[in-house]
Structure 1
């Protein structure tokens, strides 16, 4: 039976991602790789991560890549840069870029060998723009951050899918599916407890791949949805 692997926030750590996929997951072409977003920022090689995942698609692997808030950061900063044509040839301040820079944008631009958003090839932006916000597979609902269960239809709040951090799941609003998400780094112990507790309504898979100096963090996991097998790759990028 084909396997279904879920991989959370990568944050520019391409060496770690390659090791996870090529040495631990080792996917067959009929398997599916689900990514929970936040491919970019913070780590050293956002461009490398995008190239690698896009390359897997080109090689015919089954890829379902979701959008994270850091892709949204990147897109908004890039789009504002395109529109920033100021009066009397004075360029307007790119507020989105200013907000993005301290949250990993600086490292992302460095991975492209530039400090200028205008020099980012448009096909990277187009790829990120097209990423869906959630995906349903069997008894699981995959999303980057979570859902706003305070409204009648949680799927109407697209902002929360990218950004929400604190919420209480109401299983009936998602047809009693188990929520798999990233966005908020949690310890490996917490991930292990959630994965191995079938009644737990959610699994937060984000272990803060880039957080190598924090005990219990700094790894990139992958969860196989049918067996609930967890593979864990320590960070290889932040040295």
Structure 2
């Protein structure tokens, strides 16, 4: 059985807010949560969930602030869900085995480390090892634990949420963490329907991309300084965006 976007429904009585890749933009993350809080005040919902599709760290200026915010918010309300992205996994891998040529070190890791008050040095092997050691020591244990505890996916109604996508024709329950965090070309090129509509990030677009079989909510926050959320309720689908300069509803 397959579901297309037009027929896909959220669970009865549940409003879902799905937020795209954050990449260290703590100010936009806070702005999006304020926007959602305002929406819930003006349009109360019987029940709701906020689903983050991963990539909280790297590239942006305040990865520490992002993790602080999410840890605090999720401690206050269990209806907030944060999935694991490939950049979050990359940070965990670096913490386990610092490597100057790793994805983390070469794709926004220095900005992440700077948000903890440490500069990553590549002047020499010894300087790199020392700066990496200081970063590991400066990282609050709750930040590492938060990343380690992130699930790879969640399913709500006719929608399946993950970071990158799925391997087409493979059952949802058989998807590997590698596919859920990393897949791109094979998933994006597939035009057939899936068992559920896949809501994902990972591949930046100028605008949210709503297709019959998937919805991409990564609008390249580190390029456009724009964070996007998808709102699902019943069979209705809409989009919110927040910008550095102003909040702007869309879609």
Q: Which interval holds the TM-score relative to the shorter structure?
A: 0.7 to 0.9
Consecutive unaligned residues in structure 1, runs of 5 or more = 81-93, 213-217
Deviation at 1:121, TM superposition (A): 1.9
- TM-score when scaled to structure 2? 0.76
- Aligned residue in 2 for 1:108: 112
RMSD of aligned Cα (Å): 2.4
| 1:220 matched to 2:227 | yes
Which protein is richer in strand relative to its size? 2
| 1:118 matched to 2:136 | yes
| 1:166 matched to 2:178 | no
Looking at structure 2, the residues matched to 42 and 117 of structure 1 have their Cα atoms a distance apart, in angstroms, of 16
Deviation at 1:27, TM superposition (A): 5.9
- Aligned residue in 2 for 1:35: 52
> Would the aligned equivalents of 2:74 and 2:81 in 1 still touch at CA under 8 Å?
no
**Number of paired residues?**
209
> Would the aligned equivalents of 1:209 and 1:235 in 2 still touch at CA under 8 Å?
no
| 1:139 matched to 2:143 | no
Deviation at 1:149, TM superposition (A): 2.0
- Aligned residue in 1 for 2:7: none
- Aligned residue in 1 for 2:94: 77
Provide runs of 4+ in structure 1 moved above 4 Å.
27-30, 150-154
SS class of match (1:57) = helix
Consecutive unaligned residues in structure 2, runs of 5 or more = 1-12, 120-133, 246-251
- Aligned residue in 2 for 1:63: 80
Structure ranking higher on relative contact order (CA contacts 8 Å, 6+ apart):
2
- Aligned residue in 2 for 1:21: 33
Deviation at 1:224, TM superposition (A): 0.8
- Aligned residue in 2 for 1:85: none
Deviation at 1:158, TM superposition (A): 1.7
Looking at structure 1, the residues matched to 140 and 237 of structure 2 have their Cα atoms a distance apart, in angstroms, of 38
Deviation at 1:53, TM superposition (A): 1.1
| 1:11 matched to 2:30 | no
- Aligned residue in 2 for 1:232: 241
> Would the aligned equivalents of 1:141 and 1:180 in 2 still touch at CA under 8 Å?
yes
Deviation at 1:35, TM superposition (A): 0.2
Deviation at 1:235, TM superposition (A): 3.1
| 1:181 matched to 2:200 | yes
Mean CA deviation greater in 51-60 or 140-149: 51-60
- Counterparts in 2 of 1:15 and 1:184: CA distance versus 1, 3 Å: same
- Counterparts in 2 of 1:170 and 1:133: CA distance versus 1, 3 Å: farther
- Counterparts in 2 of 1:113 and 1:225: CA distance versus 1, 3 Å: same
- Counterparts in 2 of 1:231 and 1:170: CA distance versus 1, 3 Å: same
Looking at structure 2, the residues matched to 14 and 186 of structure 1 have their Cα atoms a distance apart, in angstroms, of 20
Deviation at 1:150, TM superposition (A): 5.9
| 1:157 matched to 2:176 | yes
Deviation at 1:122, TM superposition (A): 2.1
> Would the aligned equivalents of 1:149 and 1:169 in 2 still touch at CA under 8 Å?
no
SS class of match (1:3) = strand
